[in-house]
Copies of this chain bind each other. A is one copy, B any other.
Amino acid sequence: MVVMTPEATEAEIAAVKRRLEATGVHVLVLPGELTTAIGAIGDPEGVRELGLEGMEGVDRVVPISRPYKLASSELAHPEPTTFSVAGHRVGGGTTFCLIAGPCTVETREQTLAVARTVKAAGASMLRGGAYKPRTSPFAFKGLGAAALEILAEARAETGLPVVTELLDTQHAEGVAAHADVIQIGARNMQNYALLEVAGKLGKPVLLKRGLSSSLDELLMAADYVLKEGNPRVMVCERGIRTFETATRFTLDLSAIPWLKLHSHLPVIVDPSHASGDRRLVEPLARAAAAVGADGIIVEVHENPEAALCDGPQALYARDFAGFAERVTAHARLEGRTLA
């Protein structure tokens, strides 16, 4: 829908109409009391590319259709996407996926101990960082390939599939060899080169929302992965940046029912990174279960006070079984069982 200024001339209206018709769309001119609007039916992507906002006499272009395609439940895929990760069912409304583990792999012992703890509490998958994105170049960046080996050992022992972040296209092969789910971090949500590589690795992808990305942009980023022929994508709400600094980010739980209305993809919530504060993680995890998320991803540590990274948000391993039980109770009320 192209809205003209009140002073737009007949010639300017005709020019816009001609330009639209040249792309093959059907055009309708809607004269209003004060301004004329021009509707275009068909090929919204083509119309968007025209850049009509800059034509003489045009005030605004108001998109009517949504800008994402493959991730849309309306355009592409009315039924919820479901898939299995090593036997754990993701998506579809009957399971709740509990992904837990250390922020970063620090040692073999630490990782195995946490893996056993979360396995015993019923976790569905093990998370753990091998390569860590750090805001400051002088901070600890993870053990890299050695961490991937440790995660593989933890999987072998516990049977838990492993979720780990792909940070750089150069690590793609190594990460794909050891991970069951490829995580794309929030800071890379619009790193399109990385999204395309991730889409080609043949593994499920956990795509985190950028910290100031709109939900439309999150689903367009998912389109980058989906168009590589990989349908196994989960999106993850992990807090957005707002004016409020009392919490590290603002967890946008409204996003979950909105995504359920407009997309078929499973939706995971990360309350650990959103809040940055252990004391808020359980309440927010319960809320995620109640709001209808398909799962959560949380950080756990035997001794968070000695953690090399993000200790303040890590749950104590000794508290994890109780945490899992209390959160799962809310998921059960919504008809879900642990994946």
Contact = CB atoms under 8 A, between A and B. Distances in A.
Given A6-B74, A37-B64, A280 B307 contact: no
A107 interface: no
A251 B242 CA distance: 12
Interface stretch (A80-88, A112-120, A157-165, A310-318): A310-318
Interface string A138-170: 111000000000000000000000000001111
A200 interface: no
Contacts of A212: 210-212, 241, 243
B19 A30 contact: no
B192 A190 contact: no
A322 to B, nearest CB: 14
Interface in A250-265: 250-258, 261
A134 interface: yes
A177 interface: no
Nearest to A140: B49
B253 A242 contact: no
Interface of A: 1, 3, 5-6, 19, 28, 30-35, 37, 39, 41-42, 45, 48-55, 62, 64-65, 67-69, 74-75, 133-140, 167-170, 187-188, 190-194, 210-212, 214-217, 220, 223-224, 227, 240-247, 250-258, 261, 274-280, 283-284, 286-292, 304-305, 307-314, 326, 329-330, 333-334
A53 to B, nearest CB: 4
Contacts of A286: 290-292, 333-334
26 contacts: A6-B74, A31-B41, A35-B74, A48-B139, A51-B304, A53-B276, A54-B278, A54-B304, A54-B312, A69-B138, A133-B190, A134-B192, A135-B217, A137-B220, A138-B227, A168-B169, A211-B212, A215-B246, A240-B250, A246-B258, A247-B255, A254-B275, A283-B290, A286-B333, A290-B290, A290-B330
A254 B187 CA distance: 22
Given A243-B242, A254-B251, A1 B279 contact: no
A194 B167 CA distance: 10
Given A41-B33, A212-B241, A255 B261 contact: no
A303 B307 CA distance: 49
Given A19-B305, A45-B139, A274 B254 contact: yes
Given A32-B42, A169-B169, A258-B280, A3 B287 contact: no
Contacts of A54: 277-278, 304-305, 311-314
B243 A257 contact: no
Given A215-B244, A257-B284, 8 more contacts: A50-B311, A136-B223, A137-B227, A214-B244, A242-B250, A253-B253, A286-B291, A329-B333
